[in-house]
Every structure is written in structure tokens, then in C-alpha cells.
Amino acid sequence: MAKVLLFDFWGTLVENGVWSPTRQVKEILGIPMLFSEYVVRFEKIMMTTDFPDLKTAFESVAQEFKVDCSERQMEILIGMWNKSWMLARPYPETIEMLAELQKKYRVVLVSNTDRFAINNVMNKFGMRKYFEKVFCSYELGVIKTDPEFLSKVLAELGAAADECVMIGDSLESDMLPAQKAGIKAIMMDRRGSRQFELKIRNLNELEKVL
């Protein structure tokens, strides 16, 4: 029986203010590799360190991929990243459903993220109160594809894997890590374009598949 709901943040509960910030970084810096290879390396650099500011974070990204980053590119990167959180907003049903779900389940947030965007958005919309615990990659020092991430989450919650359910929009970052950890996985597929055994279009459908 499900007792703990582990929610991804971006693309699951909250819509980014701009199209795929992660992909835009790749394009702005002209990083010449497949996105599937790039994204894991990018997240490990950008989202596992509590950087003092975005400039330092993007300098580390450029260094990781051995590309030059001009002052103009840096301005564009920082502007785009800030615009992403400034224009971000919860999906229409998110707040109401989190409030309902926390009456029946332990509601927990698990996210690959830098510290700037997620904290600004949660503060802006008063979202923190809906989560018993918040686990962010920049604090844990690992991303969700690393088995250590979910191991730390389960240990701190004092929960068994079969008591938990992962709800997220990424096959690579949410569904597969959850399954490897023995956690039930439900994909958030808002556009109805993904293939996965258990999936929902919005949070209103969640309890039907729990």
C-alpha cells in the first residue's frame, strides 16, 4: 500500500517559464554531443553543487564541456535561467491536489535542481508547506540517476521502497531510478506522447492508479 508519494518538481508539478532551459544551455554554448549524453553530465555539474551564483555555475558547466563562454553568452544564459523561474508556475491542479494528497499520504519532493530556481518558485507560490520533506540534488550532492539519491531519501524518511511511489515526467531521471530502487513509478505525461506502463495526464488522475 502506498504511504509515501515522491514528486518530481519541474514538468510534474511546475511548468518552466521558458522552453527546456537545459536544452537551451546546450544550444547557447554550442555543446556538440547527443542530448542523452549531455543531460546527465550537465545535471551532475549544475545541480549537485550549492553554487554562490549563476555565473559561477555556468562557468563550471563550460569548463566541464571544454567550451568557451563569452560575456555575451553568459548574459544570455543567466537571463534565460532567471526568466525560467520568474515565469514558472504550478500546473492548474497542482496546489489543490497537493493539499488533498497530504491528508492521506506523506508527500515528499525529490528534484534535480539548482538552488536558485526551485527555492524562488516554492517561495513565490507558498508550496513548501505541502511537503513533509524536500530533497534537492544540489543539497545531496548527487542526482536522481545515482542510486545514492533514493537510498538517502528512503533512509531519512524511514520508509521501505514498497511503501513509496515516484511521480515524475522523465523516464531517465524518475521512472528508471525508481524501478531500480524497487519503487513503484507513475509517469506524468501531460501531452499524452510518452510510452510507459503506468501514466497520468495530470494529478487529478493520480489516485486512480495508486
pLDDT of 204: 95
Q: Which of 97, 80, 81, 79 is nearest to 7 (CA)?
A: 97
Which pLDDT band, with edges at 50, 70 and 90, does 102 fall under? very high
**pLDDT exceeds 80 at position 202:** yes
Output the pTM of the full model. Answer: 0.92
Query: Is the same domain home to 105 and 170?
Result: yes
Residue 194: predicted pLDDT: 81
The mean per-residue pLDDT over the stretch 79-85 comes to 95
202 and 135 co-located in one domain: yes
The Cα–Cα gap between 135 and 98 comes to 17
Amino acid letter for position 126: G
Residue 1 has pLDDT above 80, yes or no: no
Question: What is d(CA 137, CA 57) in angstroms, rounded to the nearest whole number?
Answer: 14
CATH number reported for the structural domain that contains residue 120 in this entry = 3.40.50.1000
pLDDT at 199 (0 to 100)? 93
Question: Do residue 97 and residue 199 come from a single domain?
Answer: yes
> What DSSP string describes 70-110?
-HHHHHHHHHHHHHHHHS-EE-TTHHHHHHHHTTTSEEEEE
Query: Which pLDDT score is estimated for 192?
Result: 83
Q: Based on the domain organization, do 45 and 100 belong to the same domain?
A: no
Q: Give the Cβ contact number of residue 156 at 10 Å.
A: 12
Above 80 in pLDDT, residue 197?
yes
Q: What is the pLDDT of residue 36?
A: 84
Where does a domain end: 86, 104, 126?
86
Displacement of CA 159 from its chain's centroid (Å): 21
- The total of structural domains in the chain comes to 2
Domain that holds residue 65: 21-86
Cell numbers placing 106: 506523506
Burial of 114 (C-beta count, 10 Å sphere; 0-12/13-18/19+): buried
2-59 confidence digits (pLDDT tens):
899 999 999 999 999 999 999 999 999 999 999 988 988 999 999 999 999 999 999 9
Residue 191 is predicted with a pLDDT of 87
